[in-house]
Amino acid sequence: MEVNNLIDFKKHVKNIKSPILISGQEYSLINLSIEEIYNQVNEFKEMNINIFDGDNLDFDTIYNACETSPFISNLKIVHIKNFHLAFNNTTLINNLTKYINNIPSYTILLLTTNQEIEKNNNFIRTIRATGLIAEYKKLKGTDFQNYVYNYLKERNKNITKANLTYLISEIGSSSENIDFELEKLISYLGNKDNIEKDDIENIIHKSIESNVFKMNDLILKKDIDNAILIYKNMIFQGEDELKILAMIFRNYKILYLLKSYIEANMPYDDVVKKYNLRDFALKNYIRVVKVISIEEIEYGLKKCFNCDVSIKLGEIPSSIAIENLIIELCA
């Protein structure tokens, strides 16, 4: 069996004991999945969770660990990290392939890596047939939109392209956050099939990226009251003040680079790549670039820099410093 999101992983993992292969570039999802498996061991975790590295590993070590009975527990875990390194050891892989179907019922053989795994081999086919494969790819652009659209479609929910774009912009870029927010939205909808913009507004927790961009929009419109209101709401929701400052600073840096490239009639692909800008975010930045002057952007960069220095030197508390920054940017 194969899955590509945390919700489906949690749904199936307790019914499949071994082996479990987790790979991909979404580190947070990999770690959450590992934690989900570790939590299946309730007693004496330090003795019933054996961890090995994929480099310089031999089959006998894994075999003995798997065959050893758990200590005062019904379950134990044998975890091989950096499993992509084990693929260099043909003898190990061949022996593991033969052993997979004979792993004791009390053992979970867990294989994890943050690298892509070549799936066209007998070892992976054997895992697919008997165990669970979770692959958490870093999604971008159209792939990212397709992931969200198909996730909703599989759960019999319909969404227009415009609302899909809006939904993604509100959730942000974390796959971990996406799965959680989509399930929350689906539960909120109940028997309702079509997702409207009001549904998204009512239930989705707005990402820090979304909030900061809206706050910057209000700053450009010189709307001090509402810009500060968004800032205070983010603090109330537990967002870190320095992270908010970093995001404001980041927005001005992106605007500066895009403005410079566009005015010079130069392609800005490297800016998009450097800051991992998704389609909806890029469109928003381009919209702002058209109405803001380079002088305003430089002023914003200078104020953000001075604010950061003042906080780090202990001259002013961060909460007051950032609120003052918003007021200055709106002036």
Q: Where are the domains of the chain?
A: 2-136, 142-203, 208-330
CB 21 within 8 A of CB 111: yes
pLDDT tens for the chain, residues 1 to 331: 888 777 788 888 877 777 999 998 777 788 888 988 998 888 888 889 999 988 888 899 999 999 999 988 888 999 999 988 888 888 988 999 999 889 998 999 999 998 877 777 888 888 888 889 998 877 666 777 887 888 898 889 999 988 888 887 777 655 556 777 788 888 888 889 999 988 888 777 666 777 787 788 888 888 888 888 888 878 877 788 888 899 889 889 988 988 888 888 887 787 777 777 766 677 778 888 888 889 999 999 999 999 999 999 999 998 899 999 999 988 7
Q: Tell me what pLDDT residue 325 has.
A: 92
pTM here is 0.53
CB 248 within 8 A of CB 325: yes
**Which of 168, 175, 176 has the alpha carbon at shortest distance from 282?**
168
Q: Tell me what pLDDT residue 175 has.
A: 53
**Tokens matching residue 234:** 């983010």
Residue 158, beta-bridge partner list: 194
> CA-CA distance, 128 to 122, in Å (whole number)?
10
**Cis geometry, peptide bond prior to residue 267 (ω within 30 degrees of 0):** no
Classify domain 2-136 at the CATH class level. alpha beta
Supply the CATH classification number for the domain 208-330.
Answer: 1.20.272.10
Length reported for the chain: 331
Q: How far is CA 45 from the centre of its chain?
A: 27
Name every residue whose Cβ is closer than 8 Å to that of residue 300 and which is 6 or more positions away in sequence: 248, 252, 255, 329
Q: How far is CA 116 from the centre of its chain?
A: 17
3-class SS at 82? coil
φ, ψ at 136 (rounded to 5°): -110, 90
Instruction: Classify each residue of 219-243 as buried b or exposed e, where b means 16 or more C-beta atoms within 10 Å of its C-beta.
Output: bbeeebeebbebbeebeeeebebee
CB 108 within 8 A of CB 17: yes
Architecture of domain 142-203: Orthogonal Bundle (1.10)
